[in-house]
Structure 1
Amino acid sequence: MTSDGEAKRRRGVKSSFTLYREGRSTPEIRLTVHMVLTARRWRSLLDEKLRPIDQSSARMEAMSAILNSPPLSPQVDIARRLRIEGPTLTRMLDSLEKDSLVERLPDPHDRRTNQLRLTGNGEAELAKIFAISDAMRARLLDGFTDEQILQVNAVLEVLLARLDAGLPETED
Structure 2
Amino acid sequence: MRPSQTPIGLLLAQTAKAVSRAFDDALTEAGGSLPTWLVLMSLMRDGPLGHGELAERVGVQGPTLTHHLDGLEQRGLVRRERPPGNRRVQVASLTEAGTAMFHRLRQAAQAHDARLRAGLAAEDLERLRSLLGRLSANVSPSIQEDPTDDR
Q: TM-score range by the shorter chain?
A: 0.7 to 0.9
Q: Pick from 35, 38, 51 the counterpart of residue 75 of structure 1.
A: 51
**Which segments of structure 1 move beyond 6 Å, counting only runs of 4 or more?**
158-163
Higher relative contact order (CA 8 A, sep 6+): 2
State the 1:93 CA deviation.
0.6
Q: Pick from 136, 141, 149 the counterpart of residue 167 of structure 1.
A: 141
What is the aligned partner in structure 1 of residue 89 from structure 2? 113
What is the aligned partner in structure 2 of residue 38 from structure 1? 15
Q: Does 1:49 align with 2:23?
A: no
Are the aligned partners of 1:74 and 1:107 in contact in 2 as well (CA < 8 Å)? no
For residues 25 and 109 of structure 1, the distance between their equivalents in structure 2, rounded to whole angstroms, comes to: 66
Are the aligned partners of 1:43 and 1:57 in contact in 2 as well (CA < 8 Å)? no
From the superposition, tell whether residues 143 and 94 of structure 1 become closer, same or farther in structure 2 (CA, over 3 Å): same
Q: Does 1:122 align with 2:98?
A: yes
What is the aligned partner in structure 1 of residue 42 from structure 2? 65
State the 1:135 CA deviation.
1.4
For residues 114 and 161 of structure 1, the distance between their equivalents in structure 2, rounded to whole angstroms, comes to: 36
What is the aligned partner in structure 2 of residue 3 from structure 1? none
State the 1:156 CA deviation.
4.5
The CA deviation string for residues 41-62 of structure 1, in whole angstroms up to 9 with x for no partner, is 2231122233344321221122
The CA deviation string for residues 119-159 of structure 1, in whole angstroms up to 9 with x for no partner, is 11111111111112211211221122223323433554677
Q: Pick from 103, 109, 114 the counterpart of residue 133 of structure 1.
A: 109
Quote the sequence identity (%): 25
For residues 4 and 54 of structure 2, the distance between their equivalents in structure 1, rounded to whole angstroms, comes to: 37
For residues 58 and 106 of structure 1, the distance between their equivalents in structure 2, rounded to whole angstroms, comes to: 23
